[in-house]
Structure 1
Amino acid sequence: MIWNTMMGTSILSIPWGIKQAGFTSGIILILLMGILTLYCCYRVVKSRKMIPLIDTSNWEFPDVCKYYFGSFGQWSSLLFSMVSLVGAMVVYWVLMSNFLFNTGRFIYNFVHDINVTDIVPGTNGSNKVICPSAASSHPPQNKSVIFSSGNNTGFELFKEWWNKSQTVPFYLIAVLLPVLNLKSPSFFAKFNVLGTVSVVYLVFLVTVKAARLGIHLEYNWFTENDFFVPEFRILFPQLTGVLTLAFFIHNCVITLLQNNRNQENNVRDLSIAYFLVGLTYLYVGVIIFASFPSPPLSKECIEQNFLDNFPSDDIMSFVARIFLLFQMMTVYPLLGYLARVQLLRQFFGNAYPSVFHVLVLNVAIVGAGVAMARFYPNIGGIIRYSGATCGLAFVFVYPSLIYVISLHRAGQLTWPVLIIHIFIILLGLANLIAQFLL
């Protein structure tokens, strides 16, 4: 359950993050961030039991923050929780727009027997890999060559009305905004298994593509050339920002573990879940990076969503986009429900005060997603900014401070423990600042 909940959209950006950090440092950072976030999550799980003489069995982590930090802890934890939820919903909207666009284009071309060859740098053959970033930095005058059994007027009209950033993000409003206003999204919770199916299929896709493409690695430890990135890069904080959200479950881990039949196994189960998540990220990230054909392409071509490195007419990528599109369309209302419950209950004491209140909130959230899909469709950037922001509070600062304060009140605080947890807090602060400097 924890593995299924934690595995999300971040998996699509892990190969890009490894490219930004460098191959060797990327692997090291995934391992270190997994261990660090696991420890901080462990501190969250144990935080309730360190409060004496009070029944905390029904408490969530924001309640613990309120106990230690008063109204500031209560409202700040709400703020950072909303950042994580809304950030995830924005990423979902950008990705759903991407997947819907590519799916629609694939179906239209197939139905109308249209063969579109994009003029984008890429490899030849049946296992084609493309470099959209090179095309965007040096756009050709004609973006595609069309081979069709019919006239091209309909295709040009289709391209006008089926645009990745200008039209498709708005089409999603008609489907998802009404669903967000439902009082309970319990119907969509039944499709949670789609998340597992999507991740399993992504692992299968990555394995098959790597087997066909082969391994393309050359170790240049500190120098960079046209085809290979160095093993260590100064841009590594971009990966740590992505990983903060990729390993983020701290604001709901207590709720998830409450359903565990054997509570004494919580730490074991949490550790197993983090191990599996880290292993999945490592496998997908390393295999995509290592098999990316360089030469003839450059590793710099690895996209923030690695599925964009496969052309829209690639069958396996088409199936992956279909799986992910339906998964995200079922998870999106659940995220909206969590955001509504946390925000409106805090302000109005009721998760559904009126249709008007809920509609205003949902329009604002949907509007943020549409705006990002229209003007800043960079999921890697959105993930690392929101991950580093919410992670500063929920991953690094609050778990460490609460542990130190509880030990101090019990007279058990030692200098090594204090220094270690201050260092963890400083790491979280440096992680956030670095996102805006690199």
Structure 2
Amino acid sequence: MIWNTMMGTSILSIPWGIKQAGFTSGIILILLMGILTLYCCYRVVKSRQMIPLIDTSNWEFPDVCKYYFGSFGQWSSLLFSMISLVGAMVVYWVLMSNFLFNTGKFIYNYVHDINVTDIVPGTNGSNKVICPSAASGHLPQNRSVVFSADNITGFTLFEKWWDKSQTVPFYLIAVLLPMLNLKSPSFFAKFNVLGTVSVVYLVFLVTVKAAHMGIHLEFNWFTENEFFVPEFRILFPQLTGVLTLAFFIHNCVITLLQNNRNQENNVRDLSIAYFLVGLTYLYVGVIIFASFPSPPLSKECIEQNFLDNFPSDDIMSFVARIFLLFQMMTVYPLLGYLARVQLLRQFFGNAYPSLFHVLALNLAIVGAGVAMARFYPNIGGIIRYSGATCGLAFVFVYPSLIYMISLHRAGQLTWPALITHIFIILLGLANLIAQFLL
């Protein structure tokens, strides 16, 4: 359950993050961030047990923050929790727009028997890989199209009304806004298994593509060229920002573990879940990066969503986009429900005070998603900014501060514990600052 909940859209950006960090440092950072976020998550799980003489069995982590930090802890934890939820919903909207656009494009071309030949730089063969970023700056049209004269008008209209950023993000409103306004999204929770299916299929896709493309790594330090693979890059904080959200489950881990029949196994189950998540990220990230054909392409071509490196007419990528599109369309209302419950219950004491309140909140959230899909459709950037921001509070600062305060009150705080947890807080602060500097 924890693995399924934690595995999200970040997996699509891990190969890009490794490219930004460098191959060797990317692998090391995934391992270190996994261990660090696991420890901080463990501190969250144990935080309730360190409060004496009070029944905390029904408390969530924001309640613990309120106990230690008063109203500041309550409202700040709400703020950072909303950042994580709304940030995830914005990423979902950008990706759903991407997947819907490519799916519609594939279906239209197939039904009308239109042969689309990409002139974006890429490889040849049935397992073609393309480099959209190489053409985005100077090619007005990233394809040549071969069709009969009868199809010219229809194709032109399709291109006009089926645009990735101009139109498709708005089409999603008709489907998703009504879903967000439902009082209970419990119906969509039944489709949670789609998340597992999607991740399993992505692993399968990565394995098959890598088997056909082979391994392409050039580590010759003395003859550096455009295909040279650096083992370390100064842009590595971009990966740590992505990983903060990729390993983020701290604001709901207590709720998830409450369903455990044997509560004494919570730490074991949490450790297993983090191990599996880290292993999945490592496998997908390393395999995609290592097998990306360089030469003839450069590793710099790896996109923030690695599925964009496969052309729209690639069958396996088409199936992956279908899986992910339906998964996200079922998870999106659940995220909206969590945001509604946390925000409106805090302000009005009721998760559904009126249709007007709910509609106003949902319009603001949907508007943010549409604006990002329209003007800033960079999921890697959105993930790392929102991840580093909410992670600063829930991953690094609050768990460490609460642990130090509880030890101090019990007279058990030692210098090694103090220095270690102050260092963790400083790491979280440096991670956030670095996102805006690089």
SS in 2 for 1:353: coil
SS in 1 for 2:147: strand
* Cα distance change, pair 65–222 in 1 and its aligned pair in 2 (3 A): farther
* Cα distance change, pair 184–216 in 1 and its aligned pair in 2 (3 A): same
SS in 2 for 1:319: helix
* Cα distance change, pair 252–223 in 1 and its aligned pair in 2 (3 A): farther
Deviation at 1:220, TM superposition (A): 4.7
- Please report the TM-score for the alignment, with normalisation by the length of structure 1: 0.99
Deviation at 1:219, TM superposition (A): 1.4
Give the distance between the partners of 1:141 and 1:393, measured in 2 at CA.
44
Deviation at 1:376, TM superposition (A): 0.1
* Cα distance change, pair 189–424 in 1 and its aligned pair in 2 (3 A): same
Deviation at 1:226, TM superposition (A): 1.1
Deviation at 1:251, TM superposition (A): 0.0
Give the distance between the partners of 1:402 and 1:141, measured in 2 at CA.
55
Retained in 1: the 8 A contact 2:118–2:142?
no
Retained in 1: the 8 A contact 2:218–2:227?
no
Retained in 2: the 8 A contact 1:221–1:231?
no
Deviation at 1:207, TM superposition (A): 0.1
* Cα distance change, pair 269–210 in 1 and its aligned pair in 2 (3 A): same
* Cα distance change, pair 402–86 in 1 and its aligned pair in 2 (3 A): same
Retained in 2: the 8 A contact 1:222–1:232?
no
Deviation at 1:223, TM superposition (A): 8.5
Retained in 1: the 8 A contact 2:116–2:143?
no
Deviation at 1:417, TM superposition (A): 0.3
* Cα distance change, pair 224–48 in 1 and its aligned pair in 2 (3 A): farther
* Cα distance change, pair 221–190 in 1 and its aligned pair in 2 (3 A): farther
Deviation at 1:118, TM superposition (A): 1.9
Instruction: Note if 1:170 corresponds to 2:170.
Output: yes
SS in 1 for 2:343: helix
**% identical equivalent positions:** 94
Show the counterpart of 1:103: 103
Retained in 1: the 8 A contact 2:135–2:142?
no
Show the counterpart of 2:212: 212
* Cα distance change, pair 217–190 in 1 and its aligned pair in 2 (3 A): same
Retained in 2: the 8 A contact 1:222–1:230?
no
1:58-82 deviation line (CA, Å, top 9, x unaligned) = 0000000000000000000000000
Give the distance between the partners of 1:153 and 1:261, measured in 2 at CA.
62
* Cα distance change, pair 140–356 in 1 and its aligned pair in 2 (3 A): closer
1:351-398 deviation line (CA, Å, top 9, x unaligned) = 000000000000000000000000000000000000000000000000
Give the distance between the partners of 1:411 and 1:224, measured in 2 at CA.
57
Deviation at 1:151, TM superposition (A): 2.5
RMSD: 1.2
1:167-208 deviation line (CA, Å, top 9, x unaligned) = 000000000001100000000000000000000000000000
Give the distance between the partners of 2:161 and 2:282, measured in 1 at CA.
39
- Please report the TM-score for the alignment, with normalisation by the length of structure 2: 0.99
* Cα distance change, pair 142–169 in 1 and its aligned pair in 2 (3 A): closer
Retained in 1: the 8 A contact 2:27–2:282?
yes
Show the counterpart of 1:378: 378
Deviation at 1:141, TM superposition (A): 5.9
Q: Structure 2: any 5+ residue segments left out of the alignment? A: none
Give the distance between the partners of 1:183 and 1:316, measured in 2 at CA.
37
* Cα distance change, pair 294–148 in 1 and its aligned pair in 2 (3 A): farther
* Cα distance change, pair 424–148 in 1 and its aligned pair in 2 (3 A): farther
Retained in 2: the 8 A contact 1:114–1:149?
no
Retained in 2: the 8 A contact 1:115–1:148?
no
Retained in 2: the 8 A contact 1:119–1:140?
no
1:123-165 deviation line (CA, Å, top 9, x unaligned) = 0111100000001123256742334484322111100000000
Show the counterpart of 1:316: 316
* Cα distance change, pair 175–142 in 1 and its aligned pair in 2 (3 A): closer
Give the distance between the partners of 1:275 and 1:149, measured in 2 at CA.
56
Give the distance between the partners of 1:141 and 1:179, measured in 2 at CA.
36
Farther off after superposition, 150-159 or 307-316? 150-159
* Cα distance change, pair 64–224 in 1 and its aligned pair in 2 (3 A): farther
Farther off after superposition, 149-158 or 10-19? 149-158
Retained in 2: the 8 A contact 1:220–1:230?
no
* Cα distance change, pair 220–236 in 1 and its aligned pair in 2 (3 A): farther
Retained in 1: the 8 A contact 2:131–2:297?
yes
Retained in 1: the 8 A contact 2:217–2:229?
no
